[in-house]
């Protein structure tokens, strides 16, 4: 799930997943972090889910995916689109 907050000059996007699906550590990777695993790791939050927030420029499109333990890559079901390989986020 994606949560968004538009600010004056940027968009804050929070990537949210259930606490244990998939199990183990998960990070969001995309063009906004050089596709570097672990840069934006999802952390537990008080509602029982895990999340990470990323600030991005507005009016841009960003490909991204999730990476879980065991080299398990997966997409965001609620993304703004898909390009065949990646989820797409429009800010």
* pLDDT per residue as tens, the chain (91 positions): 999 999 988 999 999 999 988 999 999 999 999 999 999 999 999 999 999 999 999 999 999 999 999 999 999 999 999 999 999 999 9
Distance between CA atoms of residues 28 and 30, nearest Å: 7
Domain boundaries, the chain: 2-81
User: The dihedral of CA 74, 81, 4, 47: what is its sign?
Assistant: negative
CATH topology for 2-81?
Answer: Immunoglobulin-like (2.60.40)
pTM: 0.93
- Per-residue pLDDT, 1: 93
């Amino acid at each position: 799930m994606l949560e968004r907050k538009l600010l004056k000059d940027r968009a804050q996007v929070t990537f949210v997943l259930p606490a244990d699906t998939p199990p183990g550590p998960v990070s969001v990777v995309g063009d906004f972090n050089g596709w570097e695993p672990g840069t934006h790791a999802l952390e537990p939050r008080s509602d029982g889910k895990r999340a990470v927030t990323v600030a991005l420029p507005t009016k841009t499109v960003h490909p991204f995916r999730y990476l879980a333990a065991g080299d398990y890559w997966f997409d965001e079901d609620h993304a703004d689109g898909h390009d065949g390989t990646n989820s797409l986020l429009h800010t």
